[in-house]
Amino acid sequence: MLRTIKSTPLYEVIQESFPDLSNEVLALSYHKICNPSAMSLAKNFYTGNYVSQLFKGIDISSQKISGLLKTIGEEKTLRSFFKSYIKTVQDRENGLIIDSTALPNQIHIPFTSWGYSDSNIEMSIKFLFVTTKESGSPLYFRYMPGSIPDVSLVTNTLEELKEYGVTSSIALLDAGFYSQENITKLTEAKLPFLTRLPASRKIFKELIVKTAPSLNTANNAIKYGKRILYVKHEPIEIDGLNLNAYVILDPDKKQKQINKILVNLIEDDLIDDNTDSELLKQGIFILISSFHIDIKQIVPLYYKRQKVEQLFAIAKSDLDILPLRVHSESTLRGYLLINFVALCIYVLLNNALGSNYSMEETLQIMRNLKCKVYTDKLLISETTKVQREIFEHLKILVPKTTGI
């Protein structure tokens, strides 16, 4: 399947960015996809996989990997990679999705610091990821100390992307990135944005009080998937900025949350004068935008953010980006770059497979295709029906034998 990648711009970028180590980068990235275990076991994977025939004579033993990661993680190399790679992402100007996640760890480098991770406070590094809005293609990554809040990251991220020639049409941001400074700078830069308003903001409560009585009316109803939601548009002004608020009610979710709250309050006899206001905001979230959007399009547009969340899930679960086992910043950069390349390859292969086969299923099926190695050739075992179907779908011709 790695042969499929050789026909893509990503392969050319890797060859150009790592002229002396491109095979090592591809082998390690493919290891992360096919056998997402510790980097120290990469050589075991290499020696037992056809990748050893594609990339001969490379050394990815555990003794060499740290030095390899340090070399490819040099700042100059990283910038060279992104300068070439970003140009190959065709929909980079059609909108960006920016999100971050915490990478908990106990490694002793300055970037590891106390920060929030899944509602807990842990030692971590913050990993910020940028994808394109339409295709969800990985575009860029940054890393920062875990203690830095999300609201501080948007401006610098956009400035760094400008250095690579990216001037997007829209930015989709989670509530963690909402701040007066961010929306002001996005407005000044004339970059349209859509973000979720944190429930802790005073204007959140004001908008709910204003719109709740007339929110669940037929004129505000939209269909999203199989659900009916209610969306009400309200022009608002925040510190001199004319913006658009979209108050969105999920009636099914609201009722479930109300039932759960009331059961506990009634059992403990805790209902008071604040209960009604607490119930009023259940099942509601508010989006803030710098431009007007049709109420039928607002929810689908915002939920394009799920693409970056899916990539985080792939990086953490399928590619096992955690735990981090590096002890210098350059090695950390190299490790994150390998994971980024692996994620790019994963997305390319997944897109090539389409909806008929999942990556997990395909990798499992292909593990059963074996070959016997002789002095001057490989004899490839007979393929199953499903394997043949996958090869045909990917337009891969599998010979009976191949030279070494």
Annotate 274-285 with DSSP letters as a single string.
Answer: THHHHHHTTTEE
Cβ atoms 22, 54 nearer than 8 A: no
**31 falls within a domain:** no
Domain boundary among 245, 277, 300: 300
Cβ atoms 45, 367 nearer than 8 A: no
Q: What pLDDT digit, counting tens, does each position of 310-363 carry?
A: 888 888 777 778 667 777 888 999 999 999 999 999 999 888 888 888 888 898
Burial 152-162 (b: 16+ CB within 10 A, else e): ebbbebbeebe
**227 falls within a domain:** yes
303: Cβ–Cβ under 8 A, 6 or more apart, which residues? none
336: Cβ–Cβ under 8 A, 6 or more apart, which residues? 73, 127, 141, 143, 321
**333 falls within a domain:** no
**58 falls within a domain:** no
Radius of gyration of the chain (CA): 25
Q: Per the structure, how many domains does the chain have?
A: 3
Residues 269 and 128 in one domain: no
**272 falls within a domain:** yes
- What is the average pLDDT across 79-104? 92
**392 falls within a domain:** yes
Residues 275 and 399 in one domain: no
Residue with tokens 């740290």: 66
Residues 187 and 225 in one domain: no
Cβ atoms 263, 301 nearer than 8 A: no
Between CA 22 and CA 72 the distance in angstroms is: 10
**282 falls within a domain:** yes
Bridge-based pairing state of the strands 193-196 and 171-173: parallel
Whole-number percent of the chain with pLDDT over 70: 96
Residues 217 and 204 in one domain: yes
Q: What pLDDT digit, counting tens, does each position of 379-391 carry?
A: 989 999 999 999 9
Domain boundary among 247, 267, 289: 289
Cβ atoms 380, 371 nearer than 8 A: yes
One-letter amino acid for residue 232 of the chain: K
**278 falls within a domain:** yes
Task: Record the pTM.
Answer: 0.84
- What is the average pLDDT across 205-221? 93
Residues 186 and 99 in one domain: yes
Q: How many CB atoms lie within 10 A of CB 357?
A: 18
Range of the domain at 185: 92-192+290-300
The pLDDT value given to residue 305: 86
